[in-house]
Structure 1
Amino acid sequence: MRGASTAGGMLVLRAVLGSYLGASFELRAVLGSYIEAALRPPRRPRLLHRRCPSSSATSSAPTSELPFELRDALGSYIGASFELRDVLGSYIEAALRAP
């Protein structure tokens, strides 16, 4: 059930971002791909990392913010200023928290 709501949320998020930015359909798809990649659960740690308790504890901790790299990639792709990149990140985070 959560997967279905996440997929629907992705479509809405793409449309909102696209209309907010005046983006083409292709740009909306690219933005959605970046967002989906950021939302995928992290891969299982390698065996080497499993032996280190501090490493596995930090890698499995949920994050409440989008990675800076994602914000920067989105902003760079659309040629946005640093402030707009931060605003985009805030919109995306809010959309992801919504039920």
Structure 2
Amino acid sequence: MSHTIKHRAKLLARVRRLKGQIEAIERSLEAEAPCGDVLNQVASVRGATAGLMAELIEDHIREHVVDPELEADAARAGATRELIDAVRTYLK
């Protein structure tokens, strides 16, 4: 079973929150909200999108490459954890 299927409910909830954030930006623009407010909303969407991407990549690594919690080779498990940490850091 694919990780996107296994975690479908959680992923869809995140996407629906993103959709709500995007719709809030649209409403703000229609209401001629101050640009600072709109920029803050856009930054929030960017952060939420990056968080979703990081989660998907981490799940992909764990499901299709190596799950460090199940890997018997300590060096390989450690390298996988480092990769996951690097992805999360990069996408912050």
Same fold, judged at TM 0.5 (above): no
| TM-score calculated relative to the size of structure 2 | 0.37
| TM-score calculated relative to the size of structure 1 | 0.35
Q: Which has the higher contact order (CA 8 A, sep 6+)?
A: 2
- Whichever of the two has the greater Rg, that structure is 2
Q: Hey, which of these two has a bigger chunk of helix by percent? A: 2
